[in-house]
Amino acid sequence: MTNLQLAEHLLGAIRSLPDDDRQWLLSQLEHNMDERLLARDLDRLAMAGGTFADLAIEPDLYSFNDGEPIRPR
């Protein structure tokens, strides 16, 4: 998965969050612009939003070990 694809998945997950959760995330981003969100927080948001739900349909094709690790810049 490319960084652009990951970003699109994350945006989809964020957009699918209930309003309260989305507002919480936005407030965290505003207050912590100089701090990076932890990868586990982004993972939790993506999983909660169903971003990776389609992986259950094709479990033999994809795994979380596929692709290259994403490293902060």
What pLDDT score does 44 carry? Answer: 78
Q: Is the pTM of this model over 0.85?
A: no
Instruction: Note down pLDDT in tens along the chain; length 73 residues.
Output: 777 788 888 888 888 889 988 888 888 777 765 556 666 677 777 778 777 777 777 666 666 777 777 777 6
Q: Indicate the burial class of 51 (C-beta count within 10 angstroms; 0-12, 13-18, 19 or more).
A: buried
Q: Indicate the burial class of 30 (C-beta count within 10 angstroms; 0-12, 13-18, 19 or more).
A: exposed
- pLDDT tens string 44-63: 777 787 777 777 776 666 66
